[in-house]
Amino acid sequence: MRDERQGIPRLTHHSSIAFGYIKYRRVIADTSQRNGMIRKLKSGEYRLYSRKKNPKTGKRRNLGTFKTRAAAEKHERAVQFFKRRG
């Protein structure tokens, strides 16, 4: 579900009553489709780019080139972990 005003995915909660209790689940858009920072190269490899652009050059930083998309997604999770570990 998209919020047309901002163009970003909106979190929605679905509830259902099962066996006398309420359980909730969140629907979240796929992150790989939302930010698009993993791109396929002509060589068939996948390159991971920084989410933010360098203000001086206007380009994104290369965070690595990988043979498979799964490897690039795994490295992206590792980068996010180390950015926010404090």
Mean pLDDT of the residues in the chain = 75
pLDDT tens digits along 29-67: 444 444 559 999 999 999 999 989 999 999 999 999 999
Question: φ, ψ for residue 52 (rounded to 5)?
Answer: -100, 145
Q: Which two tokens stand for residue 21?
A: 């209790």
Asked if residue 28 has pLDDT above 50, the reply is no
Asked if residue 22 has pLDDT above 90, the reply is no
Are 39 and 66 in contact by the 8 Å Cβ rule? The answer is no
Residue 26 pLDDT level (bands cut at 50, 70, 90) = very low
